[in-house]
Amino acid sequence: MKNRRQFLKGTALGAAGALILPKAFTRSISNKTNPHSQSGFPIVISTWSHGLAANEAAMQILNGGGRAIDAVEQGVRLTEADPESTSVGYGGLPDRDGHVTLDACIMDHTGNCGAVSYLEHIKHPISVARKVMDETPHVMLSGKGALDFALAKGFPKEDLLTDEARQKWEEWKKDSQYQPIINVENHDTIGLLALDKKGDISGACTTSGLSFKMHGRVGDSPIIGAGMFVDNEVGGCCATGMGEAVMKTLGSFLVVELMRQGASPQEACEEAIARIVKNQNYNDMQIGYLAINKKGEHGAYAVHPLFNYALLQKGKNKLINSPSYLN
């Protein structure tokens, strides 16, 4: 029996190793870094230009000695409440039936996480996801169940479809053709990662998803390991762009595991994009990855040009253009 247990244990470890270290990454690690990367924390980093304001809100908490988990929640709440951000929260573009449905996830340094998907009528899905994490034994609630939970926790029920979003939907219905446009904010999540003064990491991700999507569609943003993933021993990653491509590769988990094996954040992001380019038709879709390690170093990479991200570190908050596979 002992020999059998040893055999099974060895087999399981071998299988896990095969999953974690795919053949595609057996090339030597070159310690390639992002030219804008530097060590040091606290740090807040987030996707797209709407991340600049979110970073500031998050850093206020970190500078006051607050925890990364509180910082990431508060940071993206600012974006969720902004009607000018048509891919997140209030003001998000609806699905093809006119419903604004929201997805979000959050994860702390201990590995605890919470998520909501297909949530209507609640302006701050990230805070509902936080409640799922803190106050239930579950990781994700969806649809009516998520709404009922949010209402029971005191979140107000609101109409999230703004006049501007409604007008865009009415215009879209004239042709009713769905064609994602690269780098146009019809699918641009805000993902935000933070290291606090203790060096603990947390992450948050929230979106209204693809504009004019099929009713019921859920993307990568609420999926732990796809839209976002953190590991306090290693670092964290968040994703933006075409969620279906991210889900097919569990991109954020992949980036973190590559960093665990010794890759820099930049190398890990590039390898994750390489997996997508190798196996999927990437010509008409954008995917971007953003990662930090425990030193506060970061990396970013996208399929197409024009993905940008906001970095707040050592008192400077700046928007940076990410390198990309295609130039």
Q: Which residues are catalytic?
A: 189
User: Which two tokens mark 308?
Assistant: 């940008």
Give the H or E element holding residue 141.
Answer: strand 140-142
Give the H or E element holding residue 270.
Answer: helix 265-279
Label residue 255 exposed, middle or buried (CB < 10 Å: 0-12, 13-18, 19+).
buried
- The values of phi and psi at residue 139, to 5°, are -105, -40
Reduce the DSSP state of residue 300 to 3 states and report it.
strand
Which among 311, 61, 95 is positioned nearest to 207, based on CA atoms? Answer: 95
Spatial distance between the Cα atoms of 314 and 40, rounded to a whole number of angstroms = 8
Q: What is the DSSP letter of 144?
A: H
